[in-house]
Amino acid sequence: MAGAAITERNSLEETLHPMSEHDLLEVVEIEETCGLSLWGWEGYRAELERPESIMLVARAPSETEDGKRLNGFIAARVTAGELHVNNVGVRPSARRRGLGSALLRATFERASQMGAQVAVLEVRAGNTVAQSVYGRQGFVVAGRRRNYYREPTEDALVMTTPLETIA
């Protein structure tokens, strides 16, 4: 997905940018540290090719000591008026500073421009931190998918929110 940097900044001063193929090694690294369903490099690369995808990264203002530039990412897709949030990941060192919420808000704005009216996601039933972040963005639990996740096996809560409630 091409485009300019998104102007919203969070408390860490990251800027949000469309994800590119050059970001994928760090995206996969963040994915692995977050306990997400693993898409891997090829999965994200294929998703980048889809015009209905919204994929953003949070780029730090400068490299860290270990040469990293990304602190978070989001991968989502708009289909039939619905935004499906597939993966949101934030480096452990960058958590609890509003970065996940900033990524969600920027994605909601883009999805609304693409005609989406509702956002949907699945979250591990035991991931109360992510559920809290989503709840602050207007999501409510709409259902449960039994044994949805693997390694470890766990139920998913299905959460939804109408996009017009997103501020």
Of the ranges 1-5, 11-15, 19-23, which one carries the lowest mean pLDDT score?
Answer: 1-5
Identify any residues that bridge with 17 across adjacent strands, giving them in sequence order: 57
Neighbours of 110 (CB within 10 A): 19
pLDDT tens-digit series, residues 126-155: 999 999 999 999 999 999 999 998 888 999
Rounded Cα–Cα distance for residues 151 and 70 (Å): 26
Rounded Cα–Cα distance for residues 48 and 55 (Å): 7
Answer whether residue 90 shows pLDDT above 80: yes
pLDDT tens-digit series, residues 38-51: 898 999 999 999 99
